[in-house]
């Protein structure tokens, strides 16, 4: 009898399993993807009239649909609707590619959509998504949460109120109150695309990236967190502790320190001592070397409250002065009066730690404009350390009605205003005093000194020094013109105009009445009035024409 009883139970179980399989086959005939029972400790079958047939699986329940496996403490199958509900330690194995866990699951077999609640976790083997509620489509491998979630990928953590996970591409779109935390970066935004495989973040809305003392505002582009490479568009903005930087497009590599900024690029130094701006259509930077190369109509702006200095050229280059001195000799400015040389020697020991440890070079079609002084030349070297411009190759400097030329010109600034000027070889100063009338001083070397941006004293040495000077009476009417030579010529200015000339040693010359001399013949060697080359405004330095 016991053997007979066991046989009856076995037959009933086989009959019950046959009913389950019959139900699944029926579902197949209507074109629906059926859910197949793999295992359970206990089976319970109920037929509730019009509600349908239900199968309850209790204890280590396991079912399957296609390549997707479902595990739970207990599972209820609605055979009519092809719906699954799972309770306790739910686990979905989606073709061994995506694993999903929760404490509750409702699964629509027809649509292949899963609705998970309570301690939901989804992982693809690299990143882990956790949330309290998740909708996951096993057919297209897309998951959505709308009530807060977190993705952890290595050391990178992202949180948001809403998110969409794409299993095939490993992309996650985060929305609303998005925060990305990385050992080196923090990102705050409203919408962010992140790829778990590549660790690349893509920006599609206004975002703020914080990296140490640097803050980047960006709304378009991407940042590769793994390789530290960024490409940004739509005019991103960088605010660092020492500068700000913006451009239409920027790309940089934080690993190598190299960067490129294109389209109306503007670099602004925050340094109150050596503060300056760089404007160009293309700026290449080397952060590790603290250097840059600006091309495509670059402009250097030395900032001050009044009379800012603008410098334009075909190319601007800048870097640390202490680095440059390791690769080439930097000309030491020596003034016979000693002031400039003492400045250099006194501060040389501190150059490596000074905020003025910087040089700027300009090449070809160099133009300088300020309200009190203008200049042109073929090349320029400017050191923030000694606040001096060095102009080379046919340089010309204008101050009021005075034009100064020579082979090389050094212009010193004090408080960012012209303070002292030195001209080496073929030094020539021309001052226009009337139509066709020019005061002229020529020598081997020349020193000019400024007060409030205007020349107030000029001394010239030569072998000999040449001079043409138009003498005026108290009513500013010309009474004659003096042409002479001597060893040293000192000229004193008032409001930018010559008021007195002093001749020292070996004076030779004569005074001629105004109407008894051919004024066109009163030209010293090398005379050339070049007012057409003079920058007339800050806008004129953009032109590279002669």
Q: Tens digit of pLDDT for each residue in 335-367?
A: 433 444 444 434 444 455 466 788 899 999 999
Backbone angles phi, psi at 31, to 5 degrees: 85, 15
Asked if residue 464 lies in contact with residue 427, where contact means CB atoms within 8 angstroms, the answer is: no
> In the prediction, which pLDDT does 32 show?
46
Q: Hey, what's the torsion of the CAs at 379, 540, 304, 239, to 10 degrees?
A: -80
What pTM, to 2 d.p., does this model score?
0.80
> In the prediction, which pLDDT does 53 show?
81
Asked if residue 445 lies in contact with residue 458, where contact means CB atoms within 8 angstroms, the answer is: no
Residue 443 pLDDT class (50, 70, 90 cuts): very high
What integer is the mean pLDDT of 274-290?
90
pLDDT digits (tens, 9 = 90+) for 73-113: 999 998 888 899 999 999 999 888 889 999 999 999 888 99
Q: Where do the domains of the chain lie, and which CATH numbers do they carry?
A: 384-542 (2.60.450.10)
> In the prediction, which pLDDT does 241 show?
87
What integer is the mean pLDDT of 242-249?
94
Q: Hey, what's the torsion of the CAs at 387, 542, 380, 357, to 10 degrees?
A: 40
> In the prediction, which pLDDT does 352 show?
54
Can you read off the two tokens belonging to residue 295?
Answer: 């091309």
pLDDT digits (tens, 9 = 90+) for 394-420: 999 998 888 999 999 998 887 767 889
Taking 60 as the threshold, does the pLDDT of residue 214 lie above it? yes
Backbone angles phi, psi at 532, to 5 degrees: -65, -25
For 252-314, give the DSSP string.
Answer: EETTTTEEEEEEEEEEEE--SSS-EEEEEEEEEEETTTTEEEEESS-EEEE--SSS-EEEE-S
Give the separation between CA 419 and CA 413, rounded to whole angstroms.
Answer: 5
Average pLDDT, the chain: 85
Q: Which helix (H) or strand (E) covers residue 7, if one does?
A: helix 2-29
Site of tokens 């061994």? 96
pLDDT digits (tens, 9 = 90+) for 197-206: 999 999 999 9
């Amino acid at each position: 009898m016991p053997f007979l009883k066991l046989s009856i139970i076995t037959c009933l179980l086989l009959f019950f399993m046959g009913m389950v399989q019959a139900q699944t086959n029926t579902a197949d005939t209507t074109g629906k993807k059926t859910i197949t029972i793999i295992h359970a400790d206990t089976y319970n079958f109920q037929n509730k009239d019009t509600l349908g047939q239900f199968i309850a699986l209790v204890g280590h329940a396991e079912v399957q649909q296609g390549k997707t496996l479902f595990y739970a403490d207990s599972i209820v199958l609605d055979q009519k609707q092809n719906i699954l509900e799972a309770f306790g330690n739910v686990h979905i194995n989606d073709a061994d590619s995506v694993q999903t866990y929760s404490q509750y699951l409702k699964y629509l077999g027809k649509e292949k959509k899963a609705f998970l609640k309570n301690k939901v976790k989804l992982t693809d083997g690299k990143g882990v998504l956790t949330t309290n509620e998740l909708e996951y489509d096993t057919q297209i491998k897309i998951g959505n949460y709308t009530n807060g979630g977190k993705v952890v990928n290595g050391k990178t953590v992202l949180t948001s109120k809403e998110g969409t996970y794409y299993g095939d591409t490993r992309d996650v779109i985060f929305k609303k109150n998005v925060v990305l935390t990385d050992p080196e970066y923090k990102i705050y935004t409203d919408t962010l695309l992140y790829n778990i495989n590549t660790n690349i973040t893509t920006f599609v809305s206004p975002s703020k990236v914080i990296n140490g003392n640097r803050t980047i505002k960006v709304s378009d582009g991407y940042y590769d967190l793994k390789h530290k490479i960024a490409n940004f568009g739509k005019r991103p903005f960088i605010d660092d502790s020492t500068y700000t930087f913006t451009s239409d497009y920027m790309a940089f590599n934080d690993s190598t320190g190299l960067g490129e900024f294109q389209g109306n690029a503007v670099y602004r130094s925050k340094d109150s001592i050596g503060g300056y701006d760089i404007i160009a259509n293309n700026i290449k930077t080397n952060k590790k070397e603290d250097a840059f190369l600006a091309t495509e109509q670059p402009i250097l702006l030395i900032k001050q409250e009044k009379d800012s200095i603008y410098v334009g050229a075909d190319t601007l280059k800048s870097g640390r002065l202490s680095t440059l001195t390791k690769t080439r000799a930097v000309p030491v400015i020596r003034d016979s009066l000693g002031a400039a040389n003492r400045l250099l020697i006194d501060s040389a020991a501190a150059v490596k730690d000074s905020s003025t440890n910087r040089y700027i070079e300009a090449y070809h079609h160099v133009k300088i404009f300020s309200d009190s002084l203008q200049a042109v030349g073929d090349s320029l070297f400017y050191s923030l350390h000694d606040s001096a411009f060095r102009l080379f190759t046919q340089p010309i400097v204008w101050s009021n009605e005075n034009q100064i030329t020579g082979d090389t010109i050094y212009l010193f600034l004090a408080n960012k205003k012209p303070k002292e000027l030195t001209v080496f070889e073929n030094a020539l100063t021309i001052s226009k005093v009337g139509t066709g009338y020019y005061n002229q001083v020529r020598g081997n070397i020349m020193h000019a000194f400024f007060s409030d941006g205007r020349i107030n004293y000029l001394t010239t040495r030569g072998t000999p020094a040449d001079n043409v000077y138009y003498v005026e009476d108290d009513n500013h009417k010309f009474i004659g013109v003096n042409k002479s030579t001597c060893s040293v010529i000192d000229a004193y200015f008032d409001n930018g105009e010559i008021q007195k000339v002093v001749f020292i040693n070996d004076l030779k010359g004569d005074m001629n009445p105004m109407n008894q001399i051919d004024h066109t013949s009163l030209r010293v060697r090398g005379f050339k009035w070049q007012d057409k080359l003079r920058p007339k405004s800050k806008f004129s330095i953009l032109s590279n024409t002669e």
